[in-house]
Amino acid sequence: MPKPSAELALLLSALEEAFERKSWHGPNLLGTLRRVSAEAAAWRPAPGRHNIWEIALHAAYWKYAVRRRLTGEKPGSFALRGSNWFRRDGGDEKAWKADVKLLVDEHRKLREVIARLQPADLRKTSQRSRYSHGFVIRGIAAHDLYHAGQIQLLKRLQAR
């Protein structure tokens, strides 16, 4: 595969730092999930509020949605039934680990699609979006960091 353009390399770097690569700002999204048990992932700060588990699946869904936007793939092929938020009220460690694996798998698929883009593709928009591909890629990296912060707060609240 040819070396990506400087712009694409920067987007890929931001995506990786937000998800799993060491960065200056603190934990990335995957880092916030390390050593989180299924019980801790299912804990809610209050009724009607999302838990860590649901945030992880929400992030997986949006990685899938961005990949769809970049490729033009039709909706409906996400691994779970539904969209955006998936209720999780508990479960065993095996179910939690499977959902974290889904997040990792969706990240890998998205990264592969982005790595194949050409510089001109970053200025294109998908049929159902007013945002350029480059804008959406920056957004999904920011989305990971936003939710990493939420997860860190939820972990601290549990420790009280």
Domain ranges of the chain: 6-159
Q: Give the chain's largest Cα–Cα span.
A: 50
CATH 3.40.50.880 fits 6-159, yes or no: no
CA dist 34 and 107 (Å) reads 16
pLDDT tens for residues 4-19?
789 999 999 999 999 9
Whether the predicted pLDDT of 3 surpasses 80: no
Q: Are 151 and 43 in contact (CB under 8 A)?
A: no
pLDDT tens for residues 36-84?
999 999 999 999 999 999 999 999 999 999 999 999 888 778 999 989 9
